[in-house]
Amino acid sequence: MGPDAFRFVRWLADAGMKIWQVLPLGPTGYGDSPYQCFSAFAGNPLLIHVPEPARPHVGHDVGHDVAPESGHVCNFTAVIPAKRARLDAWLATMPLDDAVHRFVREQASWLPDYALFMALKDAHGGASWTTWERGAAQRDPDALRTWRETLRPNIERCYKEQYVFFDQFQALRTACTAHHIQLMGDVPIYVAHDSADVWANRSLFALNDDGALLVQAGVPPDYFSETGQLWGNPLYDWDAMSNEGYRWWIDRMRASLAMFDVVRLDHFRGFEAFWVVPAADTTAVNGRWVPGPGAALFTALTAALGPMPIVAENLGLITPAVEALRAQFGYPGMAILQFAFNDPASEFLPHRYARELVVYTGTHDNNTTVGWWNSSGAGDSTRAPDEVEQEQAFARTYLDTDGHEIHWAMMRAAFASVANTALVPLQDVLGLGSDTRMNLPGRQAGNWSFRFTWDQLSASLTARVRELADTYDR
């Protein structure tokens, strides 16, 4: 969140962009996934800018002076310990002053639990909370009191870390506002099992007495996988949530709306009905649909927070009931151009768009547009070779392209549509291939590590993006 982030905001403005959408910004755990965070409220310390005097090397930020696998891949194995060492050294020089204490009081609904959780996690060698010493795992009050005293230095370090994260984030958001850029955040529907949220609120989740999963989250067989997607997250006990007036969800959305101008609500479909998979299963095939909280949740959220600037991620197996719920609260849905050309009757074709819609060339779960165009379908979707061939033939006709610079043809189609908002992954702006894909659902490693280099955002590229935005009054 230092100079590079501010430079990127200036580039967005120069390119005529008005929205910067980001992935969840929480502290990542398993697989470095922003959808498997240690907290739904905390910020990721890897994103903190450590000022120059604390660094042994002058110049690039941490991560640029450790050997990457390639120019487009962040080597988290090297970056995480290097960044933590530098961050710890800097935070050790920072007093626990009135500003930090005030921040802790303001974030009292989540921060003390999160700081204790992370300190306990370190004390137990990084192990999942269900394996901790029983008093800590079961949140015995006497045990927690002792642990808080024992781990006080680590807890206070976490307080300072989170204070700095949100202080720097607000500075970045101020810069976005000054450049007329809206920040769009992302709220995953589920939280990680190994998280402060579940550890501190066990009664709100479907768990066994020892904290293990009763059932797990996922989705049935889809475009990406013939066996479905098994996410492994705990499912909510929606009756318990309702009995508390949806307090946890109100706190979560309040925190997100304090950070972002717009919020993408992940897997909106799961609020109407969600896929329940037995805890022991290794695929999502044997799940079943169970009714979700539906309108009751969003009525409670709206009553507490007012009308919310939400974009509903309504992809997958969408029923009329899901669309009715979305329409009831006026949340625009999403359209993905990469899904448009497998059926001439597809709702994702631009000439069928409604104005209240957000169109994407692709999302973090898709291949890049160039990668999608060059793909056989094997390994990254359930498309057969003849389906790929038919899809490409229709796309050539619809987009009036021979496939050369397919990313620009797709961007033009998105920008020219009547959809109120058009969003493009940076990989598509740069015309990059499958090796820069952000995430392949179901893949256990190799995700979330894409990065760019400044030389790629040339003056000519910036001008071309700006011309596209200006031409279609974006």
Catalytic residues: 266, 313, 365
Cβ neighbourhood burial of 120 (10 Å; 0-12, 13-18, 19+): buried
Residue listed under structure tokens 């074709």: 349
Q: Per DSSP, what are the bridge partners of residue 229?
A: 219
Within a 13 Å sphere around the CA of 55, how many CA atoms are in the beta-carbon half?
15
CA distances from 366 to 218, 296, 337, 371 (A): 17, 32, 10, 9
The gap from C-alpha 376 to its chain's centroid, in whole angstroms, comes to 28
Pairing of strands 215-219, 273-278: antiparallel
What's the CA gap between 157 and 109, in Å, rounded? 18
Q: What is the dihedral of CA 11, 42, 450, 21, to 10 degrees?
A: -40
Among candidate residues 165, 163, 157, 166, the one with its CA nearest the CA of residue 92: 157
CA distances from 295 to 243, 268, 298 (A): 15, 12, 5
What's the CA gap between 151 and 104, in Å, rounded? 17
- Grouping H, G, I as helix, E, B as strand and the rest as coil, residue 347 is coil
Identify whether the C-beta of residue 20 lies closer than 8 Å to the C-beta of residue 182. yes
